[in-house]
């Protein structure tokens, strides 16, 4: 029992595990970037109901959301090389990280597209019609009316989704990528100290998820806070103008 858990190993292993942190963060970053780009395209196709693409993306989203990411990872790992082999591109010497980026990007895109879609469709349809009636093009309508409003609604959900993504990256080690969990496993084989490694990984994940959550909460609060400075400068101006308009009318009388 005494040999079961030793604090001295926690201290010696901690910097070594921490050195794998950038890999995990890069997976999160790339997955978020790919996910938001693909997710926007999918959400656009589904909102505009573009004939065949709409159905395909509905099936795609349902498939990605209905299968474990572990299975998706191996499908990408075995499927992409043989698919690209048909075209004649050989990627057998690719770094395994690229497969991880692709998998997590695809996975995130499905979740993000649903978030974008529900956010945009929660903006009342009358706004879309109003924008069209004053002659805005579709691009202008999206950029100036729909996206600014939908962004505020989507933001908290995106935060939750990114925290989930961070926790899901812990599966990347099953493809042999040296992220935090992968590092823990290799160090465990080296030092015969697995439990301490898991303890360190747990601490890193707890700190990361809680700080990400706090960050998103802070940004959300800032986003919804009334823009006080601008209001203060606006109000006296508006009052002055109203008074001056009255005085002008009076003088006419």
Partner 1 sequence: MDFDFAFMFEASLAALHYLPITLLLGFLPLIFGSAIGLGIALIRHYKIPILAVFFKWFVTIFKAIPVVLILLVSYLVFSDVFDTMADSLALSISFSDIDRRWIAIFALTLYATSGLSEIFRGALASIPKGQTDAASSVGLTNLQVLRRVMIPQVIPLALPLVNNMLISLIKASSLVSMVSVVDILNGAVIEANVNYRYLEAYVAVSIIYWGVCASIEAVTAGYEKYAHRSRRRQFA
82: exposed, middle or buried (Cβ count in 10 Å: 0-12, 13-18, 19+): exposed
Find the shortest distance in angstroms from Cβ 197 to partner 1.
10
Of the candidates 51, 66, 135, 226, which one interacts with partner 1 according to CB under 8 A? Answer: 66
Q: Is the dihedral of CA 141, 142, 144, 145 positive or negative?
A: positive
Find the shortest distance in angstroms from Cβ 210 to partner 1.
6
DSSP state of 207: H
Q: Which residues contact 198 (CB under 8 A, 6 or more apart)?
A: 184
Smaller CB separation from partner 1, 83 or 190: 83
DSSP string, 38-96: HHHHHHHHHHTT-HHHHHHHHHHHHHHHHS-HHHHHHHHHHHHHHHHHHHT---TT--H
The yes or no reply on residue 7 touching partner 1 (CB under 8 A) is: no
Smaller CB separation from partner 1, 82 or 92: 82
The yes or no reply on residue 181 touching partner 1 (CB under 8 A) is: yes
Site for partner 1 in 84-123 (CB under 8 A): 85-86
Of the candidates 43, 171, 177, 178, which one interacts with partner 1 according to CB under 8 A? Answer: 171
Give the Cα separation of 73 and 7 in Å (integer).
35
Find the shortest distance in angstroms from Cβ 45 to partner 1.
20
Smaller CB separation from partner 1, 68 or 148: 68
The yes or no reply on residue 189 touching partner 1 (CB under 8 A) is: no
Q: At what angle do helices 96-121 and 51-66 cross, to 10 degrees?
A: 120
Give the Cα separation of 21 and 12 in Å (integer).
16
The yes or no reply on residue 26 touching partner 1 (CB under 8 A) is: no
Residues within the interface to partner 1 (CB under 8 A)? 1, 4, 62-63, 65-72, 74-75, 78-79, 82-83, 85-86, 167-168, 170-171, 174, 181, 194-195, 198, 201-202, 205-206, 208-210
């Amino acid at each position: 029992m005494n040999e079961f858990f030793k604090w001295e190993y926690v201290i010696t292993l901690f910097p070594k595990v921490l050195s794998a942190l950038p890999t995990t963060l890069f997976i999160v970053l790339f997955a978020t970037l790919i996910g938001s780009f693909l997710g926007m395209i999918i959400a656009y196709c589904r909102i505009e109901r573009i004939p065949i693409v709409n159905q395909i993306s509905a099936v795609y989203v349902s498939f990605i959301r209905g299968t474990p990411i572990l299975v998706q990872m191996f499908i990408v790992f075995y499927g992409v090389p043989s698919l690209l082999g048909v075209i004649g591109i050989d990627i057998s010497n690719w770094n395994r990280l690229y497969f991880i980026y692709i998998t997590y990007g695809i996975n995130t895109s499905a979740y993000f597209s649903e978030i974008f879609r529900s956010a945009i469709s929660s903006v009342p349809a009358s706004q879309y019609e109003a924008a069209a009636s004053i002659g805005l093009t579709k691009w202008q309508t999206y950029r100036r009316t729909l996206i600014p409003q939908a962004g505020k609604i989507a933001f908290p959900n995106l935060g939750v989704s990114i925290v989930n993504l961070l926790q899901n990256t812990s599966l990347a080690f099953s493809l042999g990528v040296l992220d935090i969990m992968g590092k823990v496993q290799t160090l465990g084989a080296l030092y015969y100290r697995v439990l301490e490694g898991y303890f360190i990984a747990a601490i890193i994940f707890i700190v990361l998820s809680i700080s990400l959550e706090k960050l998103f909460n802070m940004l959300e609060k800032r986003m919804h806070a009334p823009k006080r400075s601008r209001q203060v400068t606006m109000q006296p101006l508006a009052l002055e103008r109203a008074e001056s308009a009255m005085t002008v009318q009076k003088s006419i009388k």
